[in-house]
Amino acid sequence: MSSDTVKALIYTDKFKIEGSIHLVFKDSYRGRLSDHLNSDRAPTFLPVTDAKVYKFDGKEPIFEPACIILNTKQIEAIIELSET
């Protein structure tokens, strides 16, 4: 199984999470994150590595786990970040 990685800022109702989202299949147009999440094959849980977790309105991380497995039903919004 191949995997692409997308840097993103993820918002839930209580937290914002910055990290790398791992796309576990490649049936999206040019690897777009939105196509991946809207696919009928989208996973229920999304692996996010090199994460920084903030309170929703915080500026400093409250913890920095190596990996979070995030339930996609908890996601309110995702902003794809550029690599530069």
Instruction: Report pLDDT for 20.
Output: 94
Q: How many CB atoms lie within 10 A of CB 40?
A: 5
pLDDT in tens, 30-79: 567 777 777 777 778 888 999 999 998 889 999 999 999 999 899 999 99
| Model-wide pTM > 0.85 | no
CATH-assigned architecture of domain 4-80? Roll (2.30)
Instruction: Report pLDDT for 2.
Output: 47
Domain boundaries defined on the chain: 4-80
